[in-house]
Amino acid sequence: MLDRKGLERQQRRDLLLEAAGRVFGRKPFDEATMQEIAAEAQIGMQGLYEHFASKQDLYEQVMIHRAEAFSARAEEVLRTPRPPLEQLRSMFQAYADHFRGRLIWLPMFILERVHYDWGFESRFLPRLREIYEAERARLKGILHRAVEAGDLQDLDPDFLIQLCFGVLEASLHRSHRTGKEEDPGACVERAMACLLRGAGVRP
């Protein structure tokens, strides 16, 4: 257990990660500066460098922190046995809940996962690759069971995975563009409807 000093240090670190996430959400990595992040967090530069050695280090820690939080949530919601489409809906819900109030962070995650999917060089660490690989394997298993249950067409698994990410990201993007706070459940239902109209088994 952390003592008071350790707890305060952890709280400052979390505040810096939140502030950095907002800055990196607004600007590409190369345009964002440590000065902007320090100003966003209302902390001095010395305080920022006490926690993170460089902008690269800070960016990686933001990505890993958020990806691990999402991965833990996804694993939690999928522990309850459900039919495959309900599991998929639950996974979509975990995404929507994770980004609620933080949709500006979504482009960071999309960019890094596109780099991973297409095999480009990226800034992410091996830990982040592990999370993405586990995420894809989790989703692939759900989609395989949905195909076996006759809920989805027997399409190429990688195509179905990308289709899932695509409809969900499009739905989240719509929420962001309206400028209004939307219930995450509405975002999920829109994404599920689009997926099933495109890849669902025809009656």
What SS3 state is found at 152? strand
What is the reported pLDDT for 188?
96
**CATH classification of the domain holding 146:** 1.10.357.10
Q: What is the pTM of this model?
A: 0.86
Is residue 169 within 8 Å of 110, Cβ to Cβ? yes
86 and 25 in a common domain: no
Task: Tell the burial category of 56 from Cβ atoms under 10 Å away from its Cβ (0-12, 13-18, 19+).
Answer: exposed
Give the tens place of pLDDT for each residue, 165-186.
999 999 988 888 887 778 999 9
How many separate domains does the chain show?
A: 2
State how far the Cα of 177 lies from the Cα of 172, in Å rounded to an integer.
9
57 part of a folded domain? no
Q: Extract the tokens encoding 174.
A: 């719509």
* 26-74 pLDDT per residue, tens: 888 899 999 999 999 999 999 999 999 999 999 989 988 888 888 898 8
Do residues 110 and 41 both lie within one domain? no
User: What is the extent of the structural domain holding 48?
Assistant: 1-52
